[in-house]
Amino acid sequence: MRLNTVIHGDCLSTLSELYSTNKEFADLIIFSPPYAQQRQDTYGGVPENDYPDWMLSVVRAGMMILKPTGSLVINIKEHVNDGVRSLYVLETTLLLAREFRYVDEYIWHKTNPFPTGSKKRLKDGYERCLHFTKSADYQFYPDSVSEKSTSKYAGDNERRKNKGAHNTTNGSNMHMSKRIIGELVRPSNVITMPVSCLNIDHPAVYPIALPEFFIRLMTKEGDVVVDPFLGSGTTALAAVKLGRQYLGIERDEAYIRLAESRIAALAEERK
C-alpha cells in the first residue's frame, strides 16, 4: 500500500482489501459520510432505513484497519423531513455503540449557520462528531488543542487562598492548591468554528479546522490518518499541514481530481 494517495473506489470494499494486505495501520479514521437519501443526486445516498446497518458495515471495515490505539470519528447531522427531525443518526449511534467503545459526542458549534428556509425552524447551528475506539488505550493529546483561558484569573500570579481540598488533575489546568489558572486550558467537547465557505466543486466540504482539531487531539507526527469519504480532500490537507500521513478513498473521479489538485497546490505553497 502507498500512503499519501487517494484510492478510487467504494470505501467498503477498499477498506476490506486494505485490511487483507496491511492489517491494522491507521491511527485515526475521520470522515463526514454522505447523508441518508436526500443528496442522492449529488454524491450518493443510502436510504434512511438502511443507513444504520450500512454505517455499521463501514465502521466495522474501518475498525479492521485501525490500530488498537486508534480512534474513529464520524462527523454527521441528521436532516429534517417534512418538518420532523430524522432519527437515523441516533439509531446509527446506538447500533455502533453496541459493538465499539463510544467514547464521546463532540458538538461542532457553527458560528455562521445557513438559514433553513423554514419559518418554523431556527438555523441549524451544530453538527455531531461521534468518537469510537477499539480499546480504552487510545492516543489522546489534549494539550495539543489547549486554548486560551477565558477565566478572569488566567495569568494572575497573585496567589489566592485555597478554599478547600480539590483534585489537581481535573484537566482545567488550575493548580487548585495555589488557585492559579494557567494561560492555556483544556477545551470542552463543544468545538466552535465557522462552516467552510470555500467556493469549490463539492457540495459538502467541511472546514479544515475540524479534521485538524481531531488530528491534533488523537495523533502524533508521522501517524496515518484515513478518510474513506475523502470528497474534496480536506482531511488529507489537514494531515499534510500537521505532518501526518494520509490515505483517502473516494468513489467519484471528479472529486478525486479536485482533492488531488488541492493537495498539489498545498505542496506547491509549502515549497
Other C-beta atoms within 10 Å of 141: how many?
A: 12
Task: Indicate whether 32 belongs to the interface with ligand SAM (CB under 6 A).
Answer: yes
Task: Indicate whether 110 belongs to the interface with ligand SAM (CB under 6 A).
Answer: no
DSSP string, 62-126: HHHHEEEEEEEEEEE---EETTEE--HHHHHHHHHHHHSEEEEEEEEEESSPPP-S-TTS----E
103 by DSSP, 3-state: which?
A: strand
Return the range that interacts with ligand SAM (CB under 6 A); candidates 94-102, 105-113, 123-131, 248-256: 248-256
Task: Indicate whether 249 belongs to the interface with ligand SAM (CB under 6 A).
Answer: yes
* Cα angle: 68, vertex 16, 136; to 5 degrees: 15
Q: Which residues pair with 6 in a beta bridge?
A: 248
d(CA 19, CA 67): 11
Considering only 15, 59, 174, 205, the residue that binds ligand SAM (CB under 6 A) is 205
d(CA 173, CA 185): 5
Q: Please, what is the minimum distance in Å from the beta carbon of residue 218 to ligand SAM?
A: 17
Considering only 67, 255, 256, 263, the residue that binds ligand SAM (CB under 6 A) is 255
Q: Which is nearer to ligand SAM, 134 or 202 (CB)?
A: 202
Residue least distant from ligand SAM (Cβ): 231
Task: Indicate whether 234 belongs to the interface with ligand SAM (CB under 6 A).
Answer: yes
Considering only 37, 38, 43, 144, the residue that binds ligand SAM (CB under 6 A) is 43
Task: Indicate whether 54 belongs to the interface with ligand SAM (CB under 6 A).
Answer: no
Q: Which is nearer to ligand SAM, 28 or 249 (CB)?
A: 249
Task: Indicate whether 17 belongs to the interface with ligand SAM (CB under 6 A).
Answer: no
Task: Indicate whether 206 belongs to the interface with ligand SAM (CB under 6 A).
Answer: yes
Only one residue has cell 488505550, namely 137
Task: Indicate whether 252 belongs to the interface with ligand SAM (CB under 6 A).
Answer: yes
Which whole-number Å values give the CA distances from 67 to 30, 133, 265, in the listed order?
14, 9, 31
Task: Indicate whether 11 belongs to the interface with ligand SAM (CB under 6 A).
Answer: yes
d(CA 227, CA 72): 10
d(CA 176, CA 184): 15
Contact residues for ligand SAM, defined by CB under 6 A: 10-11, 32, 34, 43-44, 202, 204-206, 229, 231-232, 234, 249-252, 255
